[in-house]
Chain A
Amino acid sequence: MREDSDVFLMGEDIAEMGGSMGVTQGLLDEFGPERVRNTPISEAGIVGAGIGAAMQGMRPVVEIMYEDFLTLSAEQIVNQAAKHRYMSGGQLKVPLTIRTQGGAGWSPGAQHAQQLEAWFVHIPGLKVVFPSTPTDVRGLLWTAIHDDNPVLVFEHRLLYPVKEEVPDELEPIPFGQARTVREGEDVTVIATGPMVHRSVEAAVEAEKNGVSVEIVDPRSLQPLDEEALVASVKKTNRCVVTHEAVTRMGFGAEVASVIQYQAFDWLDAPIERVGAKFAPLAFAPVMEQFIVPNSEDVLAAIYRTVGRDGN
């Protein structure tokens, strides 16, 4: 925002309050209410206004407070933002960034914790990223804002407390570049968002039992770094795909398909998928925990691929 006056923010409660998750704290003071625009509760309207401003050369960043409410702006994202470039035969561009957050594990109930990234990966014309660390958020958000296409940035609520040293100099992270979180020999775990961290826990456990686990975080789901994912599986010959979203028809289904097609002859075991069970998110913590995948679920899947029961 300091470098480019075309960048501005819109969203509910992003000004004085600094966003419901505190992400935009301090920005009102520095950039003022014109560029840090508190909006009414109008998800379709603010995304649509972002599209219009973007087509006029601005670089808006719209915050949707919970990704569950992306559904309210879905028309504008899916039918408008994703399509204007194409329908105009390449005349228009929509350099719009939509930031949102979600995720379970704190019992808000069924309308505040869904993981809906797969819906948007399915739409040609959109780019989708899902960072899992502070460094990745920064680098990917930078790229999103500078990209000439509509980009959705998914943040996970439980990852806000994650802390790490970030380089002084901001390093943009190009889209379509996976990150190897951890190297290993026996199994590749392809994980997004919070499952990256849960997979690291699982990998540490597996290591104690002599199973060496490689973890790859695609970071950008669209475009997808197929090459890196396939290369890792060709090395380990086994694969677990995991995300917090519902397993069925989730992003992992696409990844599994990519792997089986491009690394079929290298696979020594069926690809395992770990995600949420097929139910809305229940309120009662015991039921919520049952639905949402955890590190033990990843560990069990790792052991299944190597034909071990973990004992």
Chain B
Amino acid sequence: MAKVEAEQTGVSEQRLRDFLREMLLIRRFEEKVEERFRAGELPGFLHVAIGQEAVAVGVCAALEEDDVIASTHRAHGHTLARGTSPNALMAELYGKLEGCSRGYGGSMHLYDVERGNLGANAVVGGGLPAITGAALAFKFRKEPRVALAFFGDGATNIGTFHESLNLAQLWQVPAVFCLENNWWAESTPNKQHSPITDFTQRAVAFGMHSLKVDGQDVEAVHRTASEAIDHARRGDGPVLLVADTYRLVGHYIGDPQVYRPKGEQQELRKTEDPITKLREKLGVSDEDWEQLDAEITQEVEESVEFAKNGTDPQPEDALKNVYA
């Protein structure tokens, strides 16, 4: 069984085991979300990131406590990886006051300001400009902090992507733009939405530093994200970090995926599951795996209990928080 060499990789075996736990927590959490949504318990519009866990975990683990992130409509993984508890997240999905957005946000609008989560965004590209702005504030105040935006391949086609990267590079702010390339923008494959396949080329237009990584390999993600974040924190300018990954599910929960080649997803599940890859790399025994899985499954179950026992907002609460 492969023993991971700390010197070689810079990521200790213990750390990788922690990553495995986190990735599995995200997976089981999202599977539970799918299940509860189908059971009619969860309102709203939900997108899970099954298959993309290594990006969320590897990148967030490379951030410091004072750093900030902005996320997307596919936000559960980023939010958990940034330290929000499964309880607070599940409570949000159930629309409870104990939720990380107090029931005001929902799945596509997860906030947790204490943990540097400035918000998931239901508007594609909506979060990028504010990440440039947050980084600008850090630069103004000479704080050694980094602002990081998650977004998808589809988001590279919207104006805010180009404007934010240009401003960030022009102003040399400590921002990292983390592109999760899962090859699809809803039903639209990359070849239908982008004339180029290598997204690092987008950075060239702005003279921005860029890095690319296999997003199914959490260790590589962590190493490369650390490099990007250090680059930004040192004052060497923003970075476009491209992680190639796979969406092993539909665009949203319930998506029949009529547009997707038959069998593609099943095949990818066999070859590109980041959790299986890490488990194999670490040589986790069946026994250890089952124990880990049982603990996590229990934790997720408890989050559902917590959420169901949470406090419903009063109808009139809807009129609060409109203004500061």
Contact = CB atoms under 8 A, between A and B. Distances in A.
B45 A17 contact: no
Contacts of A55: none
B285 interface: no
A306 interface: no
Contact of B122 (A13, A41, A111): A111
B109 interface: yes
Interface stretch (B167-175, B205-213, B267-275, B316-324): B316-324
Contact of B315 (A17, A18, A108, A287): A287
Contacts of B312: 284, 286
Contacts of B187: 13, 15-17, 38
Given A40-B185, A279-B318, A109 B122 contact: yes
Contacts of A86: none
Interface size bracket, A side: 35 or more
Interface in B146-201: 154-155, 157-159, 185-188, 192-194
A12 B123 CA distance: 14
B158 A43 contact: yes
Interface string B231-261: 0000000000000000000000000001100
Contact of A287 (B45, B104, B125, B192): B104
Contact of B186 (A12, A72, A110): A12
Contacts of A68: 122-123
A16 B106 contact: no
Contact of A289 (B45, B105, B315): B315
B313 interface: yes
A278 B319 CA distance: 7
B128 to A, nearest CB: 13
A285 B259 contact: no
Contacts of A44: 159
A291 interface: yes
A173 B188 CA distance: 34
B223 to A, nearest CB: 30
Nearest to B122: A111
A112 B45 CA distance: 9
B181 to A, nearest CB: 14
Interface stretch (B25-33, B77-85, B95-103): B95-103
Q: Chain B's interface: helix, strand, loop or mixed, by majority?
A: loop
A303 B319 CA distance: 25
A282 interface: yes
Contact of B44 (A17, A18, A42, A108): A108
Contacts of B186: 12-13, 17, 20
Interface size bracket, B side: 35 or more
A41 B155 contact: yes
B148 to A, nearest CB: 21
B108 interface: yes
A283 B101 contact: yes
A146 interface: no
Contacts of A109: 44-45, 105-109, 122
A277 interface: yes
A288 B319 CA distance: 10
A287 B318 contact: yes
A279 B103 contact: no
Nearest to A68: B123
Given A107-B43, A112-B45, A112-B122, A41 B322 contact: no
Given A108-B44, A283-B103, A283-B104, 9 more contacts: A18-B258, A41-B154, A42-B158, A109-B106, A110-B104, A278-B322, A283-B44, A283-B95, A290-B315
26 contacts: A13-B186, A38-B192, A39-B193, A40-B193, A40-B194, A68-B122, A107-B44, A109-B44, A109-B109, A110-B104, A111-B108, A111-B109, A111-B121, A112-B122, A278-B319, A279-B319, A280-B322, A282-B313, A283-B43, A283-B95, A283-B103, A283-B109, A284-B96, A284-B313, A290-B315, A290-B316
- Cβ-closest 8 pairs across A and B: A283-B106, A284-B95, A40-B157, A290-B315, A17-B187, A287-B318, A16-B259, A107-B43
Interface of A: 12-13, 15-18, 20, 38-45, 68-69, 72, 106-112, 277-280, 282-291
